[in-house]
Structure 1
Amino acid sequence: MTEDRILDKFDWRILDAVQANGKMSLAELSEHIGLSKTPCQIRLKRLEEEGYITGYHARLNMRLIRKNYVVFIQVKLEATSRHHLDKFNQAVRKMDAIQACHMMAGGFDYLLKVRCRNMEEYRVILTDDINDLPGVYQTTTFPVMEEVKRAVGVDLSAQV
């Protein structure tokens, strides 16, 4: 990614539009941001090549696909040397059940988000997979009662 390049209002408008609707056609996008198709396509391709846009995704109905049970897990490691952190990070990236993993500062080392069918499936994931991750010392689980908000993008209104 080119971090020193300054994005103009059209670049920001493109980013805002595609994060809201990645399925938007080029014609719709160019009309939405106020550029003709060719310059819009050139800008979109450049934003992709420079790493500002890293992919396009569909938002699935988790209840219908039976993945609507969510838990957050605080993880403490036995040690937090670079070696231990790297081994944990590599192992977590291979686990499909872990939807998100964040290294934290404070009373624990990582916060995991796991999405699965139900408590029984989660128990198996915890005991057979998460507790066997490299260096795990302790876990604390927080089951989600209701998902109140699930955002798909960030607010770019100040940039547009």
Structure 2
Amino acid sequence: MVEIDAIDRRILNALQRDGRITNADLAAKVSLSPSACHRRVQRLEETGLIQGYVALLDARKLERPTTVFVEITLSGQADELLEAFERAVRTIPDVLECHLMAGSADYLLKVVAQDTDDFARIHRQRLAKLPGVAQMHSSFSLKTVAQTTALPI
């Protein structure tokens, strides 16, 4: 665990809302001098608490409005099979997330597609060919009710 104080928390909250905020504006927002704020941000980056900065894109405007959650059950639990599956799933650009699960499925994938026909293509050409897949269950998202990348701090 990385030790953080109230000022670090304010910095992290501000950066989660706006990763492009200038150091001067961030320093003013958290009541620090710009040099002290810069040192704190550097420390948070060096410790890995801040892993990186990204642009959040609009999937609809990029013609990927369809979100599908895919539960995958593998034919076995051997380390080699799990590792092969995980290596292969990382190569599929349409898979935004892949989680190893405890429960009814081994993995849960979040997949984006243009539409149902595009998902059928992804399913047939990529997902069905993943190593060790025994079963797949797909659920189409009808509406995103809540979505954030900000962690509660």
TM-score normalized with structure 1 length: 0.92
- Specify every segment of 5 or more residues in structure 1 that has no aligned partner in the other structure, as ranges: none
Determine helix, strand or coil for the equivalent of 2:38: helix
The 4+ residue runs of structure 1 with deviation greater than 2 A are none
- 1:46 and 2:43 correspond: yes
Please give the per-residue CA displacement for 1:26-46, whole angstroms capped at 9, x wherever unaligned. 011101111100010011011
- Specify every segment of 5 or more residues in structure 2 that has no aligned partner in the other structure, as ranges: none
The residue aligned with 1:71 is 68
The residue aligned with 1:118 is 115
1:102-113 aligned at under 5 Å gives the runs: 102-113=99-110
C-alpha contact (below 8 Å) 1:75/1:140 kept by paired residues:
yes
Percent same amino acid at aligned positions? 33
- 1:17 and 2:14 correspond: yes
TM-score normalized with structure 2 length: 0.96
**CA-atom RMSD in angstroms:** 1.0
Please give the per-residue CA displacement for 1:48-95, whole angstroms capped at 9, x wherever unaligned. 111001111112222111111000000000011111111111111111
